[in-house]
Structure 1
Amino acid sequence: MTTPLVDLKGRSPWSVLPPLVMGFFMVMVDMTIVNIAVPSIQKSLDADLTSVGWVNSGYLLSFAVLMLPAGRLGDRYGPRMLFLSGLVVFTAASALCGLADSISLLIAARVIQGVGAALMTPQTMAVITRVFPAKSRGAALGIWGMVAGLATIAGPVLGGFIVEDWGWEWIFYVNIPVGVVAIVYSVVTVPHLETHKRYFDVVGTLLAVAGLFLLVFGLQEGENYDWGKIWGPVTIWELIGAGLVVLGVFLVWQHRLGDKALLPLRLFHYRNFSLANVSAFMISFAMLGIFFPLTIFLQSILGLSPLAAAMVNLPASLLSGIVAPFAGRLSDRINGKWVVATGFGFIAVSLLLVYSVLTPDVSEATLIWCMIPFGIGTGLVFSPMVNLATAGLDHRTAGAGAGAFNTIRQVGSVVGSAAIVAMLTGRLATTIPNAAHDVAAGLPADLRQPFATIFSGGDVSADTIQQGFQPPAGVTGEAAKRIGAAAQQAVGDGFTVAVKDTLLLVVAALVAGGVAALFMSPTRRASDDAVPAAGAGEASEEPAAV
């Protein structure tokens, strides 16, 4: 029997976990569930594709930008209050999303939903860190990691079922009963934790929000603006540069304020916290990097429906959920860095297997088997990584640390998405014309010129690939069929090469994350479970400093 770190009035720390993971599951699912509903939303609200893209971008943007101040607010006003506030905002915004009768209202509701998600997410880690004793914290974070793994792929699968049977509105309505149950459960079980109502860094908050907004917006929307001008003479790269400058000023300001800062930089003096953030950035980069090209490949090249494409990844997702709790418990018993590094290795092996078998006619079963190590790897990575990151956080910095960790993780997703989209589209501009040249060599001489005109415009974007290439005007009958088949072969061959090249970038990110894990130091096992008193110089489980 473990001793709780706070007075739970005779209850087990495990009684606190259900509302935390319910809220976190909704947050994570809503990052991906909308993608499957894009065509339905576009048709229902008579919106263009760019506007519908903002349904997801608005959520991700407000979510990423506000997590850092939300974490610090949890330290100041208590994680219980912030978590409950986030649940209420998220649940109410979900209702607004379902009721939206225009694309602008839906985007606005999604931005508000992102605010609720930002208020909730850092508090889930902070409460677990402060309520669970050291000997069982890894197991609790294993459940947290299981939720992250399941939600990543559950979004498209659940979305597919819901959209096909009930309509796109219900991907938001289903949050309402879950949110209400989580709110009631939180009121009953989540304890009031000690707060530290000291100086609040308003200037730092404004700098962080402005810098992250400019950076995340630039990276997230760069592809939509072709990495060029946005408004007048302002370009995407100038926006990203301005964001980096503002974040640089933010760091200088944080250094000046010391422990009063929104983000106390002393957190990064501890090796495990810093390296766990590197690993979190890389795993988030990789997760987006895996699913974006593979999802397009499954639907555009293999011809699967959105739901069938999501089902290819389902076994790996379920396996991740099974492995995660055991990984959390294992990290309580051995040095967690070995568990994390092993997880990164499994994911890298999975991608290399996919790389080795990927062809335009690869079977779904083959890809499912290749993704099995991916499920094991994600199950091994998340909870021990969080355990290592939070081992050096005490009750004064748990919220700030959780906010920083989740912000960096979310920015990793945005950077990964931008990098993968840019690399994939860049490679397509080369690989498809090259494949078309090779295929043309096998056509009769009288068909080569009509075939070449299909690719002469140079438009090889993902949208074009999904819509398909049509034979040129004036070509009919058997010649049209042969040219169409040749074009399909060229697209399949070229897209396959581009996806494989893109996967190598993801493997490189995984190697970097695994190496960061290997350089982590062992955490000291605390002999008692007491949280350090305010003003204590170190947490009882603090990892070795760099």
Structure 2
Amino acid sequence: MGPSTTGRTAPGRATPPHAAGGDAPTVLADYSGVEEVPAVAWPLLLRERLRRRMRESDRYRWWVLWTVLAGLFAAGFTITVLAVSLPTIARDLHADPTTLTWIVTGPFLAHALGMPLLGKVGDVYGHRRVYLVGFGLFTVFTGLTALAWNAPSLIIVRTIGALEGAATGPASMALIMHAFPAEDRVKAMGWWALVGAGAPVIGLVAGGPIVDAFGWRWLFVAQVPLALSALVAAAVLLHETPRTPRVSIDVRGAVALAGATVLPLLALQLGRSQGWTGPVPGGLLALGAVFLIVFVRVERRAREPLLPLDFFRRRNFTASLLAQSLSQFAYMGGFIVSPLLMQNRFGYTVAGTSLIMLCRPLSFSLSSPVSGYVTVRVGERRAAVTGTVLVVVSMACFALAAAQESVPLVVLALLLSGLGLGASSPSLITSAANAVEPEHLGVANAAQQMVTLIGAVAGMQVLATIQAGGGGDGRFALAYLIGLAVAVPAVVAAGFVRSSARGAKLRVAHAA
């Protein structure tokens, strides 16, 4: 009979028998020679599997587009309704309505300040990362906006949130540009323009009843779940863009460009109240010019410039930026003056004016996606020239409407301006993006959005100042004629845009 194994086992070990009754020992297994199997991170595994399957799909680029556009919609739908709700907010916070205009002005300046630098950061470290961080912080500050207790807190939170949101503009556009081949980007930009113009319209229609029923804070309460949904979709579906981590960030160039952009914008904002020849607006404009000179000198000497000046020697890049800026001057200037014309000259109510003004964003939203597909056939130049010509014609119709007190002419002008900018924007945006290398898409897109912003703010402030000046009812027509004069060079600039090679081949094949 072999030796007893009571109290021990191999390769395990036994604990001493229980004191009472000598029960069988409890055997503990010895796993000292066995490797530990790591736990499976199922959420990450499933996310990567879903992302891989989506990337392998022929429709993946469109999934990227819809995901990014969901974020664009979530961020933009409060813009218009917030401006309309300023009197309500002023009463609730016991604030001066003039002071509260900074909840619109502050985000404008924040976008101008942050876009170039954050666009470059995306080029260096990856646009997906910048998009997720920027949009996540924007969502947080959106929630904090609903908790604002006075006017300064509201302005500060809105401005910081806009600065974080400035990261998403160049990043989202770069993500789309990386997902689509150069010849198909114009189609994507058509849908981009549709959502960019349509979100504020939907926000105005849906947000107005929310403000009336529950108060202005619920605008931001409703915005948070929309933003969170878009953020989760982006985290799951978006793929990182190529990085250039060995490239340093040109901080000096970023500071100089910020000064050259923000100071003139601030001067434009203050010019209406303090006079264009006042010491503060004039000083800000002069200081902005100094920063611009410094920026050019810094970029010429920088080994890795923030915005390579060589871009401005490229015909499509410079012509597209110039056409966009000048068109926006007329488009947004008319946007500010037209409601005043309807109410002060024609006697329309706010509600009636709002309904008529919807003609323009609706026509813009309809024309922009169609233009993206038509441009593939007719070419970027023809689409851009046609669109900018329509903007010029719309300003002429506005001037005639003001002189003849014709509401139908106002409606026609609104429709033409929306159709015009909707037709030209996808072509101009795509032409500028296709003119630069993929590793510079972030900062190039930021430059586009920056000059568009400058043109829009300049148009709003200059035309509003002209309308508010002396001269009787003729000041409305004069303001529109100034917008027309600025829009004409946009047609010339659009004429310098070269159409893509693939588009030319398609047109030849179609003609054959």
| TM-score > 0.5, shorter chain as reference | yes
Q: In the TM superposition, what is the alpha-carbon distance from 1:267 to its structure 2 partner? A: 1.5
Partner of residue 47, structure 2? none
Of 452, 455, 459, 1:416 maps to 459
Query: Partner residue of 1:128?
Result: 176
CA change 1:186–1:378 in 2 (3 A) is same
Distance 1:165 1:361, change over 3 A: farther
TM-score, length-scaled by structure 1: 0.78
Indicate which of 492, 500, 512 corresponds to 2:489.
Answer: 512
Distance 1:366 1:415, change over 3 A: closer
Letter in 2 for 1:282: L
Q: Alpha carbons of 1:273 and 1:155: their partners in 2 closer, same or farther (altered >3 Å)?
A: farther
Structure 1 pair 167/219, CA: closer, same or farther in 2 (3 Å)? same
1:332 aligns with 2:376: yes
Superposed CA offset, 1:114-135 (max 9, x none): 1122111111221111110133
Aligned residue for 1:521?
498
* 1:294 corresponds to: 338
**2:429 is equivalent to residue 386 of structure 1:** yes
The share of aligned pairs that are identical, in percent, is: 26
Greater mean alpha carbon deviation, residues 9-18 or residues 56-65 = 9-18
Shift of 1:44: 0.8
Stretch of structure 1 that moved more, 27-36 or 203-212: 27-36
- Select which of 366, 379, 382 maps to 1:322: 366
1:173 is displaced (CA, Å) by 2.6
Distance in 1 (alpha carbons) for counterparts of 2:277 and 2:77: 32
- How far did 1:398 drift? 0.6
Partner of 1:269: 313
Residue 322 of structure 2 aligns to a residue whose secondary structure is helix
Partner Cα distance (1:371, 1:199) in 2: 46
Query: C-alpha distance in 1, partners of 2:178/2:496?
Result: 26
Retained in 2: the 8 A contact 1:263–1:400? yes
String of CA shifts for 1:241-280, please: whole Å, max 9, x gaps.
101111210111111115x111111211210010100011
Match of 1:59 among 86, 107, 117: 107
Residues 192-231 of structure 1 show CA distances to partners (whole Å, capped at 9, x for unaligned) of 11111111111112222233222221112222323465xx
In 1, Cα distance between the equivalents of 2:204 and 2:466?
24
Quote the Cα distance in structure 2 between the aligned partners of 1:30 and 1:515. 35
**What's the offset of the Cα at 1:384?**
1.2
Is the radius of gyration larger for structure 1 or structure 2?
2
Secondary structure of the residue aligned to 2:226 is helix
Q: 1:19 to 1:278 in 2, by over 3 A?
A: same
Kindly provide the amino acid, as one letter, of the partner of residue 243 in structure 1. Answer: G
Q: What residue in structure 2 maps to residue 399 of structure 1? A: 442
Matches within 5 A, 1:228-307: 235-258=280-303, 260-307=304-351
Match runs of 1:83-122 below 5 Å: 83-122=131-170
Say if 1:329 and 1:372 are closer, same or farther in 2 by CA, change over 3 A: same
> Structure 2 vs 1, CA of residues 170 and 296 (structure 1 numbering), >3 Å: closer, same or farther?
farther
Q: Tell me whether 1:200 sits opposite 2:245 in the alignment.
A: no
- Selected match of 2:387 from 343, 363, 373: 343
Query: Structure 2 counterpart of 1:199, which letter?
Result: S
Whether the aligned pair in 2 keeps the contact of 1:36 and 1:159 (CA below 8 Å) is no
**Contact 2:377–2:503 (Cα < 8 Å) also in 1:** no
Partner of 1:8: 55
- With over 3 angstroms needed to count, the CA separation of the structure-2 counterparts of 1:319 and 1:340, relative to structure 1, is same
1:510–1:145 distance in 2 versus 1, CA, 3 Å: same
Q: Which amino acid aligns with 1:95?
A: G
- Cα deviation code 1:131-178 (max 9, x no counterpart): 101332211111012123324655544543433333222333332121
Distance 1:218 1:153 in 2: 29
Aligned-partner Cα distance in 1 for 2:228–2:307 = 32
1:167 is aligned to 215
Whether the 8 Å contact between 1:302 and 1:360 is mirrored in structure 2 is: no
Q: Aligned AA for 1:241?
A: A
* 1:25/1:511 CA distance change after superposition, 3 Å: farther
Aligned residues: 450
Amino acid at match of 1:209: A
For residues 155 and 419 of structure 1, the distance between their equivalents in structure 2, rounded to whole angstroms, comes to: 27
Note closer, same or farther for the CA distance 1:302–1:157 as it changes in structure 2 (3 Å cut): farther
Alpha-carbon deviations, 1:313-340, whole Å to 9, x = none? 2233222212211211122233211101
2:272 pairs with 1:223: yes
Amino acid at match of 1:271: R
Q: Cα–Cα, structure 1 residues 13 and 512, in superposed 2: closer, same or farther, change >3 Å? A: same
Provide closer, same or farther for how the CA distance between residues 86 and 401 of structure 1 changes in structure 2, counting only shifts above 3 A.
Answer: same
The equivalent of 1:540 in structure 2 is: none
C-alpha contact 1:156 1:310 (8 A) present in aligned 2: no
Residues 507 and 174 of structure 1: CA distance in aligned 2, closer, same or farther (over 3 Å)? farther
- How far apart are residue 370 of structure 1 and its match? 3.8
Look up the SS of the partner of 2:55 in the other structure.
coil
Contact map agreement 1:68 1:403 (CA 8 A) in 2: yes
CA displacement 1:420-457 (0-9 Å, x = unmatched): 1222223xx2x23xxxxxxxxxxxxxxxxxxxxxxxxx
1:452 maps to none
Provide the rounded CA distance (Å) in 2 between the counterparts of 1:236 and 1:161: 39
Measured in 2, the distance between the counterparts of 1:72 and 1:81 equals 13
Q: Distance in 2 between matches of 1:310 and 1:26?
A: 22
Partner Cα separation in structure 2 for residue 41 and residue 79 of structure 1:
36
2:97 alignment counterpart: 49
CA shift at 1:342, angstroms? 0.4
Match of 1:415, as an amino acid? A
Contact preservation (8 Å) 1:157, 1:311: no
Q: Would the alpha carbon gap of residues 421 and 526 (structure 1) be closer, same or farther in structure 2, given more than 3 Å must change?
A: closer
- Which residue of 177, 180, 190 corresponds with 2:228? 180
Pair 1:174–1:286, CA change in 2 (3 A)? farther
2:272 partner SS? coil
How far off is 1:69 after superposition? 0.6
Looking at structure 1, the residues matched to 192 and 410 of structure 2 have their Cα atoms a distance apart, in angstroms, of: 27
Structure 1 distance, partners of 2:66, 2:54, is: 18
Shift of 1:29: 4.0
What one-letter code is carried by the residue in structure 2 that aligns with 1:236?
P
Cα distance in 2 for partners of 1:252, 1:155 equals 43
User: What is the distance in 1 between the residues matched to 2:468 and 2:260?
Assistant: 27
The residue identity in structure 2 corresponding to 1:69 is L
Quote the Cα distance in structure 2 between the aligned partners of 1:321 and 1:514: 21
Cα pair 1:149 1:379 within 8 Å, conserved: no
Give unpaired runs (5+ residues) of structure 2.
1-52, 505-512
Determine if contact 1:35/1:156 at 8 Å carries over to the other structure: no
Partners of 2:485 and 2:75 lie apart in 1 by 28
Change (3 A) 1:521 1:136: closer
Q: Distance in 1 between matches of 2:348 and 2:235?
A: 44
